[in-house]
Structure 1
Amino acid sequence: MSTPLDVGMTLPVMEPDLAPAMLRDWAERIDAGPYSSLCFGERIAFDNPDALTLLGAVAAWTGRVRIATTVVVPQLHDPVLLAKALATGDQLSGGRLSVGLGVGGREEDYAAVAADWSSRTMADLAERAGVLRRVWAAENLTGATRPVGPRPVRPGGPELLVGTLGHRIVRHAARWADGLAGMSLTADVDETAALFDVARAAWAENGRPAPRLTTSFWFALAETSPDPRGQIHRHLRHYMNWLPPALVDALAPTAGFAGSLDQLRALLDRFAAIGADEVQLIPTSDDPRQVDLVADLLGG
């Protein structure tokens, strides 16, 4: 591949009928390949693995690759316990953790853990990000006999990226985030470039170092599926179960990337050209051949 762009691979945690051995196989393949990150996200009212428990397993299964949570919703957790869990994952992985934070968009996830839906604000997210950093700095927030540990490997703790598609949220997050854990529903390069420009300007206006700019999109390969567009459609019908099926069916024809490896190479080159630091691919099936084929593409 002709671009220096970093490429991460997401575990297929939102696929049905997951087996622990399959997740470990994927993690080991990703760690062995040229991938920059191994990624996974959080949902509560769904049949996916718990993200914080999975973090410990992935830390044990891998030894090289960055581990990226894309994203965790801190409003669904006690902030001190979340800080402890993430610091533990960072310790177990030798400092390889990257934390994406977002407010989430599923009211049923908030209801499942009796979280306050009205806390789904950027101000609350910023406050909770601040709690994470204060705990990681060994500040005693609890009044206990000693601060809550363990301490993360990196001074100050793992990087915190804001997970969003929105320009207004990006501007707000420039005050506290280290960068952007973006997502493009349609793998739209121009749309992503506009979001990156907003982020660069907002970070500069706030006197912050240049943000780390990442994005992600669903993908399906012609080399592993006779109907890659249909594969994405089936995945979205399962994953987007909180939405009316008609809305999912309307999105599916243009969602993500469905095509050949050569077409994927061209798309990744376009993301490199707009200054993306990393693109994180989101699989729409659990076929491990995808990991190896994209690894060959990146290595070749």
Structure 2
Amino acid sequence: MTMPVMEPHLDADTLRAWARLIDEGPFSSLCWGERIAFDNPECLTLLGALAAWTDRVRLVTTVVVPQLHDPVMLAKALATADMLSGGRLTVGLGVGGRHEDYRAVGADPATQTMRGMAERVAVMKRIWAGEKVTESVVPVGPPPLQTGGPRLLVGTMGPKTIRSAAAWADGVAGMTLDLDVEKETRLFDVARDAWEQVGRSAPHLATSFWFALGDGDATRRQLHRHLRRYMNWVPAEIVDAMAPSTGWAGTERELLDVLRRFEAIGADEVHLIPTSSNVDQVRRIADAVRDF
């Protein structure tokens, strides 16, 4: 389950309530993403709070953009979070889709490439392995609780990205706009082949989609409102055109049918992305999938 971090008017009480409900189960992971030029909570600050608010669930960034950060500081922050959470951190990484975020922090948009991300991942992995990457007396710490550092997932919607990340990522954090299971099957097959070609064990396979839970047209309108707000860098007429076929809206029983389809193609996880901060949404889904 993804936190409602892209919804308006959030406060600590709402975020804490979501985190604790997710932690109570039956969810395997608690996810949240990063944006800079938006009014969402800063992702690494939130990570510290989530480590304190939860005890069981895995914490998954979907995704952090390493090019927006100094890699040494990012490695230190993530290692600290891994220690504070008891080794429950998984780091989803992506290049990001918005130049405005790069400009907001003074990052070079020319680094918005898989190579730019891989270079920063290499620095972080060296730090997590205890190597010295600066002219310091001792290596940058603390060491992560997980040996070698947190599990890394590559955020992607395409096969080229998957192939380029097979050498360093432990899996895939994908996203489907239209819930096309056949398309996701092909992406998963690309990932399996890419990991096999570089001699690595089978990748962790995850996908995600926006959801609105309920009956009738109100759920689709909820999803449409969210897309208009979140996709504010896309012309409104394009968002309006894609809204009827983007994400999923329906009842609990219909959602279980969708999850079974993704389970059948070998998905290890589906990361559900809410389009409302109403905590009843996560409570209802928890009840529905508890015995899935």
TM-score range, shorter chain: over 0.9
Question: Which residue, 197, 201, 208 being the options, matches 2:193?
Answer: 201
Q: Distance in 1 between matches of 2:238 and 2:167?
A: 34
List per-residue Cα deviations over 1:223-280 (Å, max 9, x = no partner).
5x86111111000111111111111111111111111111100000000000000000
Unaligned runs of 5+ in 1: 1-8
Question: Which residue, 160, 163, 170 being the options, matches 1:171?
Answer: 163
| 1:210 aligns to 2:214 (yes or no) | no
Paired residue secondary structure (1:161): strand
Q: Distance in 1 between matches of 2:122 and 2:241?
A: 39
| 1:56 aligns to 2:48 (yes or no) | yes
Question: Which residue, 88, 101, 123 being the options, matches 2:115?
Answer: 123
User: What residue identity is the alignment partner of 1:228?
Assistant: T
- Greater shift in the superposed pair: 95-104 or 126-135: 126-135
| 1:242 aligns to 2:233 (yes or no) | yes
Q: Distance in 1 between matches of 2:232 and 2:80?
A: 32
| 1:231 aligns to 2:234 (yes or no) | no
| 1:83 aligns to 2:75 (yes or no) | yes
Q: CA deviation at 1:127?
A: 1.2
Q: Distance in 2 between matches of 1:137 and 1:54?
A: 25
User: What residue identity is the alignment partner of 1:240?
Assistant: M
Q: CA deviation at 1:188?
A: 1.8
Paired residue secondary structure (1:163): strand
List per-residue Cα deviations over 1:194-234 (Å, max 9, x = no partner).
110100011111111110000100000115x8611111100
User: What residue identity is the alignment partner of 2:56?
Assistant: R
TM-score, length basis structure 1: 0.95
User: What residue identity is the alignment partner of 1:133?
Assistant: K
Paired residue secondary structure (2:206): strand
List per-residue Cα deviations over 1:125-171 (Å, max 9, x = no partner).
11111111111111110111111111111110100110010111111
Q: Distance in 2 between matches of 1:164 and 1:49?
A: 22
Question: Which residue, 145, 148, 161 being the options, matches 1:153?
Answer: 145
Q: Distance in 1 between matches of 2:74 and 2:214?
A: 40
Question: Which residue, 90, 96, 99 being the options, matches 1:98?
Answer: 90
Paired residue secondary structure (1:265): helix
| Count of residue correspondences | 291
User: What residue identity is the alignment partner of 2:235?
Assistant: P
Paired residue secondary structure (1:200): helix
Aligned to 2:269: 278
Q: Distance in 1 between matches of 2:4 and 2:265?
A: 27
Q: How large is the RMSD of aligned CA atoms in angstroms?
A: 0.9
Paired residue secondary structure (1:175): coil
| 1:11 aligns to 2:3 (yes or no) | yes
Q: CA deviation at 1:189?
A: 1.3
Unaligned runs of 5+ in 2: none
User: What residue identity is the alignment partner of 1:123?
Assistant: R
Q: Distance in 2 between matches of 1:206 and 1:249?
A: 42
Paired residue secondary structure (2:156): coil
Q: Which has the higher contact order (CA 8 A, sep 6+)?
A: 1
TM-score, length basis structure 2: 0.98
Aligned to 1:5: none
Q: CA deviation at 1:293?
A: 1.0
